Amino acid sequence: MNPALPAPLVPLVHGIAPGASPVLVPQLGVGTYKVDDAEAERVVAEALALGYRHVDTAQMYGNEAGVGRALAASGLPREEVFVTSKLWVSQFTYDKAKEGIDQSLAKLGLDYMDLYLLHQPYGDVAGAWKALEEAQEAGKIRSIGVSNFYADQVKNLELMAKVKPAVNQIETSPWFQQEEEVAFLQGEGIAAESWAPFAEGKDGIFTAPTIASIGSRYRKSNGQVILRWLLQRGIVVIPKSVHRARMEENFDVFDFH
């Protein structure tokens, strides 16, 4: 197999400090949902060795420390790896969110995170968001956003916030295409980021004949076709796999359309 091409960089228009240059996120990253702490260390280490430069984790996943160990052991300059984590709803107050941000940084072993998200639209969103804004001002977070928010919830946050969300991470796959939600986000200048791009393997997605017929034109798998389709929609994608061969396959999607 030829070496995979690097993932293109996407500017995050919002969620940046006033006057600062846009933060650039690699459009294809690696997810760590349902990966335990020890295995996350191995998975992230292998992903970085394969060329991934975008890693997604969360407090709720319980693997921030493992991700941090892999980052430290990689030898890569900090600025070369884009790191995302997420604040869990149990810390959605102003004071608890401030503590949660510092806890994520400590577990990751980092001075700053590139992107930090509110994981769900529940609880004191306004208080938690204020804490994220202040952490950004303090240099602890480069860009801030949300996850699993509906369009009206995103708009409500935009109207009350000092800093608009840069990203909304939402479920997006061929079985759940989210056309209206993605169009809304992109119309607002907010990056749509896909979790579960493979629909968690449901309903035969890896053997679906329509997707397979597309892949046969380019000698690509169903998974590669799905990722390419999402990327061409301008969506940031974070597929999760614990298998090195699959991670390598997922990254080899920039040489066809």
158-198 pLDDT per residue, tens: 999 999 999 999 999 999 999 999 999 999 999 999 999 99
Two structure tokens written together for 88 = 């869990």
pLDDT at 2: 52
pLDDT at 19 over 90: no
Among the listed residues 199, 244, 203, the one whose alpha carbon sits nearest the alpha carbon of residue 223: 199
pLDDT, average across residues 204-214: 98
Alpha-carbon distances, residue 227 vs 27, 34, 254 (angstroms) = 11, 20, 10
What would the pLDDT profile of 96-153 be if each residue is shown by its tens digit?
999 999 999 999 999 999 999 999 999 999 999 999 999 999 999 999 999 999 999 9
How many Å apart are CA 119 and CA 22, to the nearest integer?
22
Catalytic residue among 61, 94, 116, 218: 61
Instruction: Let me know if 52 is a catalytic residue.
Output: no
Q: Where does residue 156 rank: exposed (0-12), middle (13-18), buried (19+ CB within 10 A)?
A: middle
pLDDT at 18 over 90: no
Two structure tokens written together for 143 = 């860009």
Two structure tokens written together for 183 = 């169009």
pLDDT, average across residues 222-235: 98
Average pLDDT, rounded, for the chain:
96
Among the listed residues 92, 94, 143, 100, the one whose alpha carbon sits nearest the alpha carbon of residue 120: 92
What would the pLDDT profile of 236-255 be if each residue is shown by its tens digit?
999 999 999 999 999 999 99
CB 146 within 8 A of CB 114: no
Coil, strand or helix at 116: strand
- Give the dihedral of Cα atoms 207, 213, 216, 221; nearest 10 deg: -30
CB atoms within 10 A of CB 254: 16
